[in-house]
Amino acid sequence: MTLNKLNLWFHIVGPLFALVLVVLFWSSPPGSLGVILLGVVLAGGVMSAVHHVDIIAAYVGRVWGAIFLALSVTVIEVGIILSIMLEGGSSASTLGRDTVFAAVMITVNGIIGFSVVAATLKSSTSSFNSEGSGAALGAIATIATLALVLPTFTAGSEGPTFTTPQLVFVALVSLGVYALFLWVLTVRNREHFEDIERPSTKTLQLPPTRDTFVWSLILLFVSLAAIVGLARVLSPSIEDVFSDAGLPLSLVAVVIALVILLPEGLSAVKFSRQGDMQSGFNIGYGSALASIGLTIPALAIFSLFLDVELNLGLGYTEIVLFILTIVVGTVTVSSHRVTLFQGGLHIVIFAAFLFIAVSP
Q: What CATH homologous superfamily does 3-358 map to?
A: NCX, central ion-binding region (1.20.1420.30)
Using CA atoms, how far apart are residues 112 and 144, in angstroms rounded to an integer?
17
Comparing 312 with 90, the larger pLDDT belongs to: 312
Could you tell me if 67 and 182 are in contact, meaning their C-beta atoms sit under 8 angstroms apart?
yes
Could you tell me if 106 and 346 are in contact, meaning their C-beta atoms sit under 8 angstroms apart?
no
Mean pLDDT of 294-323: 86
pLDDT at residue 197, rounded to an integer: 59
Residue 216 has pLDDT above 50, yes or no: yes
* pLDDT-derived band at 160, boundaries 50, 70, 90: confident
Could you tell me if 45 and 252 are in contact, meaning their C-beta atoms sit under 8 angstroms apart?
no
Mean pLDDT of 220-248: 74
> Each residue of 333-354: pLDDT tens digit?
887 778 888 889 999 999 999 9
> Each residue of 78-135: pLDDT tens digit?
777 777 777 655 556 787 888 889 989 999 999 999 988 888 887 766 776 677 788 8
- Other C-beta atoms closer than 10 Å to the C-beta of 50 total 23
- Mean of all residue pLDDT scores within the chain: 79
4: left (phi over 0), alpha (psi -120 to 50) or beta: alpha
pTM of the prediction?
Answer: 0.82
Q: How far is CA 24 from the centre of its chain?
A: 29
Domains of the chain, residue spans: 3-358
Residue 96: name the closest of 297, 350, 326, 245 by CA. Answer: 297
**Residues whose CB falls within 8 Å of the CB of residue 339, separated by 6 or more in sequence, listed in order:** 116, 120, 124, 125
Residue 297 has pLDDT above 80, yes or no: yes
Could you tell me if 219 and 53 are in contact, meaning their C-beta atoms sit under 8 angstroms apart?
no
